[in-house]
Amino acid sequence: MKQLFIDRGDDTLEVKLKKEDGLISFTGKSYPEDIEKFFVPILDWIEEYMADPHDSTKVVFDLEYFNTATSRKFLEILIELEKLPESGKDVVVQWLYNQEDEDIYSAGKKCSVLSRLPFEIQQV
């Protein structure tokens, strides 16, 4: 399985998906004009990853801003990853936020409530 890297754009995230490390990472801002087009390769990679996941998966969100459409995609990913513990695999979500950014902090809290995954909400 290949790694997937997407470079950060003006309105899109930097994405790092690395099976050999069990790493799923989203960094930056996300408000792409075509949300479906942007997330198709990510969701395809996640689907393939779930067929043979790493023993331990770390999902990192280090976000500056994201729109509602992106939040729906994040929840879609988190719901898919909820299958990992059911199959005996470890998973943790690390949600990073800046002390001054209440919106990102609140979004992390909401995601932690909506997901059955262990969350670490950390100030950076």
* Dihedral-angle region of residue 109 (phi above 0 means left; psi in -120 to 50 means alpha; beta otherwise): alpha
Largest CA distance in the chain: 39
Q: Could you give all domains of the chain from N- to C-terminal order, each with its CATH number?
A: 4-123 (3.30.750.24)
pTM, entire model:
0.95
Please check whether residue 7 is in contact with residue 16, taking contact to mean a CB–CB distance below 8 angstroms. Answer: no
pLDDT tens digits along 26-70: 999 999 999 999 999 999 999 999 999 999 999 999 999 999 999
pLDDT tens digits along 66-89: 999 999 999 999 999 999 999 999
**Beta-carbon contacts of residue 36 (< 8 Å; ≥ 6 apart):** none
Query: With 0-12 CB in 10 A as exposed, 13-18 as middle and 19+ as buried, what is 76?
Result: middle
| Residue 2 tokens, joined | 């290949």
